[in-house]
Amino acid sequence: MQIYVCVKHVPDSAANIHILGKNRIDESISFLLNPYDEHAVTEAVRIRESLPGSEVIVVCLGRSDAENTLRSAMAMGADRGLLIASKNCHDSIETARTLKAAIEQDGTPGLIFTGKESIDAEGMQTMFRLGALFDFSVATNVVKLNIESDHGQVPGHAIVDSELSGGISNTYKMSLPCVIGAGRGLNTPRYPTFPDVVKSKKKPIRQIPFDQLNIEVSPAGMHIIELEPLAQTREAKEITGTPGEIARKIITILTQEAKVI
């Protein structure tokens, strides 16, 4: 079975990001594999190991230096990579169409993984658009996954737990192929050793120029109009009174202001 993992080349969240003009950032900062995609790659490798003859292919739409992100995914165990080279910024509509075209050009997906979201745009739309284009079922924020066979040894469906807000989860039975958006609770990322990194440099990456895919222009689209830095203002607040009064005030703050309990 061919297992495709769609990954994203994102700015390091620890980097000091500067806005240039109105709608772009200084890209001289460090970029890396989207953290949620680490869970997707780890799970794809686990599934491959349980299904002899399967392979894991990582796919990325991005600049030429996104090859580093593909190498990171291959160091985690993916077999090969597809880099759709583009200097432009693409919305989730165009991204999904591009990923579908590249996957179809490469092979036949038995399972497609993504992260549940990217830490830069946080759109959480690409996996659903990709599923709609392929006419595959989609589950996101998946925290548990089992692949089961319908007949003999042929994988037929996936049983997934999809976590909702408040710690509630739903369980779905999905026919294969399907699209899985990996959540943090799915696994512990499979971080590579030095030999894994060395081996990844020998694994193949096929570059596909974006223009060669002839993506149909969608009548709908999204564009970044303006970026603004997040202004965080904090003021210290002293809580006074008896221990009991202080405890009640803290509970009020946590429930009514912070709304975390």
Which has the closest alpha carbon to 114: 134, 91, 96, 97?
A: 96
* Residue 78: burial class (beta carbons within 10 Å; 0-12, 13-18, 19+): buried
Residue 200, in any domain of the structure: yes
Residue 58, in any domain of the structure: yes
Residue 163, in any domain of the structure: yes
Residue 223, in any domain of the structure: no
Q: What mean pLDDT is predicted for residues 59-66? A: 92
Residue 240, in any domain of the structure: no
Residue 193, in any domain of the structure: yes
Which has the closest alpha carbon to 115: 184, 17, 16?
A: 184
Q: How far is CA 81 from the centre of its chain?
A: 16
Q: What dihedral do alpha carbons 214, 219, 224, 226 form, nearest 10°? A: 140
Q: Is the dihedral of CA 9, 14, 16, 20 positive or negative?
A: positive
CATH assignment of the domain containing 9: 3.40.50.620
Enumerate the β-bridge partners of residue 82: 59, 206
Q: What Å distances lie between residue 157 and 56, 81, 172, 202, CA to CA?
A: 18, 25, 10, 33
Token code pair at residue 194: 């030095």
Number of domains in the chain: 1
Residue 49, in any domain of the structure: yes
The pLDDT confidence band at residue 108, using thresholds 50, 70 and 90, is: very high
Residue 228, in any domain of the structure: no
Between 9 and 22, whose confidence is greater?
9
Domain range enclosing 119 = 2-213
Mean pLDDT of the chain: 90
Residue 164 pLDDT > 80, yes or no?
yes
pLDDT digits (tens, 9 = 90+) for 109-156: 999 999 999 888 788 889 999 999 999 999 999 999 999 887 666 788
Residue 196 pLDDT > 90, yes or no?
yes
